[in-house]
Amino acid sequence: MKEEITRVLEAARSEIKKADSMHEIMQLKSRYIGKKSILNGLMQKLGTLTKEERPAFGKILNEAKVRISELLLQRDQEIKNLKYKKTLKKEVLDLTMPGRKREIGTLHPITKVWHEIEDIFISMGFEVAEGPDIEDEFHNFDALNTPHDHPARDLSDTFYIEDDVLLRTQTSTVQVRVMENHKPPIKIISPGSCYRNENDASHSPMFHQVEALIVDEGVTFADLRDMMNIFVKKMFGENIESRFRPHYFPFTEPSAEMDIICVKCLGKGCNLCRGTGWLELGGAGMVDPNVFDMLGINSEKYTGYAFGLGIDRIAMLKYKIPDMRLLFENDIRFLQQFK
């Protein structure tokens, strides 16, 4: 029996040496030391030996079992190491190779100007309000005192989704939404997208405005004029003057359009300002008492001003961009200049 055990041990040794996969190791394990293994078979035979012989053979058998499991473990480790080395060889890393450069994106010029405008007004105590791009006629026209036959309501100017559902043509809709829900004092700006059926070098069917609204006791036209002046200087520089021209908006009275002195020629007249020396920036005025009355704000007690400026136009002036459409083409060569 002793010889038999030695033979089994030798056979196991040489087979384990040859094994070169984890699968083979598993097979050898069950073959030599598992439940139905050769060694277990010999274990059964112990019963046929005399009482005196049994302990000695039992010991040898156990030692053989321990030895074989050691060999299996050792080979298993070797196989794992070999595999690891092979993988390392296959996946060589050349640390001297130059890296792949990852381009870092930039904020869009409109986003930059948008943030800058917000910062300027927040620093003067305004809160930022938002409203939906998809609106109804009440918020875009009716509550803004716009008569039913006003040309702006026409299909040729306004994108209607269905009857009474449209893409807002102005951020003045947010004035209405704020006044519906808040009592004065009100001091908000509202930047956002607007939509109109027009498309040329200075108009895009989707564009951006920032609305401002102040409602309180004793707000005057002089306050509006002053605020516009402060904004222009903060945005474009101390040397940039602004002016008001009389205008008409249904929801403000009196109304004005605001111009700034041409940022390119500083008033001398050039191609950017078409020789006039001035550039148009947006509309403004004192909130029409009709608007207050419609929204349940006491027009005897309160006055207010509002203005709406084109964010894209401000970006064009600030960065000297000649065509508004460039802002929306998303040409990386163009956008990268605003890093």
- Enumerate binding residues for ligand PHE (CB under 6 A): 170, 172, 211, 249, 252, 255, 282-285, 306-308
- In the bound state with ligand PHE, the residue whose beta carbon lies nearer, of 9 and 315, is 315
Minimum distance between the CB of residue 271 and ligand PHE, rounded to whole angstroms? 25
Minimum distance between the CB of residue 194 and ligand PHE, rounded to whole angstroms? 7
- In the bound state with ligand PHE, the residue whose beta carbon lies nearer, of 311 and 327, is 311
Minimum distance between the CB of residue 253 and ligand PHE, rounded to whole angstroms? 10
Triad 308, 191, 178: Cα angle to 5°: 80
Region for 277 from its dihedrals, namely left if φ exceeds 0, alpha if ψ lies in -120 to 50, beta otherwise = left
Token pair in block for residue 31: 């073959």
- In the bound state with ligand PHE, the residue whose beta carbon lies nearer, of 109 and 192, is 192
Token pair in block for residue 319: 């960065």
Instruction: Compute the distance between CA of residue 189 and CA of residue 218 in angstroms, rounded to an integer.
Output: 19
What are the CA-CA distances from residue 172 to residues 132, 212, 228, 317 (Å)? 11, 8, 17, 23
Tally of CB atoms within 10 A around 107: 13
Instruction: Compute the distance between CA of residue 283 and CA of residue 298 in angstroms, rounded to an integer.
Output: 24
Minimum distance between the CB of residue 212 and ligand PHE, rounded to whole angstroms? 8
Token pair in block for residue 153: 């309501």
DSSP string, 152-199: GGSTTTS-EEETTEEE-S-THHHHHHHHHH-PSPEEEEEEEEEE-S--
E strand or H helix at 68: helix 53-90
- In the bound state with ligand PHE, the residue whose beta carbon lies nearer, of 176 and 273, is 176
Minimum distance between the CB of residue 249 and ligand PHE, rounded to whole angstroms? 4
Minimum distance between the CB of residue 213 and ligand PHE, rounded to whole angstroms? 8
- In the bound state with ligand PHE, the residue whose beta carbon lies nearer, of 37 and 252, is 252
Minimum distance between the CB of residue 310 and ligand PHE, rounded to whole angstroms? 8
- In the bound state with ligand PHE, the residue whose beta carbon lies nearer, of 236 and 249, is 249
- In the bound state with ligand PHE, the residue whose beta carbon lies nearer, of 37 and 170, is 170
